[in-house]
């Protein structure tokens, strides 16, 4: 008997009803189950373990997308794709610092939206998997007090679990898998995002690295694990 794959649920938090409806129709046409929320307050209430990805507008009345994202990050690692009418680097950095995984600038094409959604879901396919008693020691990479699961987003610093976004986890895992390799910003972007790099994406990588350091480094100002190789990029410190 053929087993049907369960549809992935996407939550759209957007105050513009026309945009919400258009995005919903496009995503449902791609086979996704879509839930809608008209503002940040309603959106936060609709974040359940069944939600695989959130599409979050930045400019909303009452509670901005940044504030909504920060609140969601207190209880969920679910991947968050920001929709923003602002294209300035500083605005994008605010979204990433709030805990977002990626962003898409309005107006955007259907192909851009689906590409970003599918890329995030592909990277986060094992999102929210619980640690199983069957995990073996070789499922983990360790260095000093840092332990990272090779298969899904579980990271420990000593006995404390580090709450990494999926993008932060993917960057850390990439560096740890190849500890002797220096990764340029372009290397990291193309490895994690699986798309061609342009200079406008440099800040995205650097913000994710900075946020990662605040969560795993004993002293983020003098990193032990994620090292900067000036003029070249980053590598893992053994």
CATH number at residue 151: 1.10.10.10
Are residues 112 and 143 located together in one domain of the fold? no
Are residues 161 and 226 located together in one domain of the fold? yes
DSSP lists the bridge partners of residue 178 as none
Q: What percentage of residues in the chain have a pLDDT greater than 70?
A: 90
Average pLDDT over residues 3-29: 88
Question: Predicted confidence band at 131 (pLDDT cuts at 50, 70, 90)?
Answer: very low
Are residues 141 and 119 located together in one domain of the fold? no
Cα-based torsion angle of the residue sequence 112, 153, 133, 237 in order, rounded to the nearest 10 degrees: 140
Query: Where residue 34 sits, what CATH number does that domain have?
Result: 3.40.50.2300
What pLDDT score does 87 carry? 65
Q: Is residue 132 part of a domain?
A: no
Could you tell me which of 234, 109, 224, 104 has the C-alpha nearest to residue 157?
A: 224
Could you tell me which of 177, 170, 169 has the C-alpha nearest to residue 238?
A: 177
What pLDDT score does 76 carry? 86
Question: Predicted confidence band at 136 (pLDDT cuts at 50, 70, 90)?
Answer: low
State how far the Cα of 24 lies from the Cα of 11, in Å rounded to an integer.
Answer: 9
Q: What is the pTM of this model?
A: 0.69
E strands within the chain?
A: 9-13, 33-37, 51-57, 80-84, 102-105, 140-143, 146-149, 155-157, 160-161, 226-229, 233-236
What pLDDT score does 80 carry? 93
- Start-to-end CA distance of the chain, whole Å, equals 49
Q: Which of 82, 97, 123 is at the close of a domain? A: 123
Q: Is residue 131 part of a domain?
A: no
What pLDDT score does 56 carry? 96
Are residues 152 and 86 located together in one domain of the fold? no
Q: Any idea which residue has 């026309």 for tokens?
A: 18
- What rounded mean pLDDT belongs to the chain? 86
- 106-128 tens-digit pLDDT: 888 888 899 889 888 877 654 34
Query: What are the φ/ψ torsions at residue 179 (nearest 5 degrees)?
Result: -65, -20
Q: At what angle do helices 166-177 and 202-216 cross, to 10 degrees?
A: 80
Number of domains in the chain: 2
Q: Is 68 helix (H, G, I), strand (E, B) or coil?
A: helix
State how far the Cα of 92 lies from the Cα of 97, in Å rounded to an integer.
Answer: 9
- 13 close to 40: Cβ distance less than 8 angstroms: yes
Q: Domain residues for 49?
A: 9-123
Q: Any idea which residue has 């969920």 for tokens?
A: 76
Average pLDDT over residues 151-174: 89
């Amino acid at each position: 008997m053929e087993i049907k794959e369960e549809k992935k649920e996407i939550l759209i938090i957007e105050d513009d009803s026309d945009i919400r409806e258009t995005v919903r129709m496009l995503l449902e046409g791609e086979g996704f189950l879509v839930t809608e929320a008209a503002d940040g307050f309603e959106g936060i209430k609709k974040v359940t373990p069944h939600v695989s990805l959130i599409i979050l507008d930045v400019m909303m009345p009452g509670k901005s997308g940044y504030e909504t994202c920060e609140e969601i990050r207190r209880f969920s690692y679910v991947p968050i794709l920001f929709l923003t009418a602002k294209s300035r680097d500083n605005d994008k950095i605010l979204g990433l610092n709030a805990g977002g995984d990626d962003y898409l600038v309005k107006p955007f094409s259907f192909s851009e939206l689906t590409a970003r959604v599918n890329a995030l879901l592909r990277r986060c396919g094992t999102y929210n998997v619980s640690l199983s008693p069957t995990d073996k020691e070789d499922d983990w990479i360790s260095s000093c007090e840092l332990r990272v699961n090779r298969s899904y987003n579980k990271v420990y610093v000593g006995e404390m679990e580090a709450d990494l976004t999926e993008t932060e986890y993917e960057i850390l895992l990439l560096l740890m898998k190849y500890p002797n390799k220096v990764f340029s910003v372009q290397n990291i972007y193309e490895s994690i995002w699986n798309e061609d790099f342009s200079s406008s994406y440099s800040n995205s990588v650097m913000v994710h690295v900075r946020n990662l350091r605040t969560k795993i480094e004993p002293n983020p100002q003098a990193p032990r694990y994620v090292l900067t190789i000036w003029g070249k990029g980053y590598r893992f410190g053994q």
